[in-house]
Amino acid sequence: MSTPEPSKSFLQQAKGWGESSVPPMALATLVFAQHARPFQTVPMIFPPLLALSCYLNLQGYKIDSAGTTAALSGSYLVLAGRRRLGFMNKFGARGIIRGATMGLALANVVGGGLAYGFGSRSKEDDKRSGI
């Protein structure tokens, strides 16, 4: 009879979120959806960089990817936070997408920061080299 696995703490779940390759691509998709039409140059710098972070993660550089994702997400969060919306515009389709994007960016900052801060490079190098 197998024993049930203990539940993960919030910090372990957040670190796992930061080490995943899905959050940067989800954020890149939402950023692209918001700023592609009408095209806005500065926010459109983020999707290719977030895709690069996802690529780094898939190549085995999970700690570096987490740090890159956290930094880019934090930068986008600051950039998006500067824009002001009217009260009624917050509850339209664009406002809901904007809120979801900012929430995902905040989750990426927390999870990526934890994964980068508490990651073990020696374990990652051993896993990548196949030892």
Q: What is the pLDDT of residue 1?
A: 66
pLDDT beneath 50: ranges in the chain: none
| Terminal C-alpha separation, the chain | 32
Write down the number of H helices and E strands in the chain.
6, 0
For residues 23 and 43, what is the distance between their CA atoms, to the nearest angstrom? 17
For residues 87 and 82, what is the distance between their CA atoms, to the nearest angstrom? 15
For residues 111 and 131, what is the distance between their CA atoms, to the nearest angstrom? 27
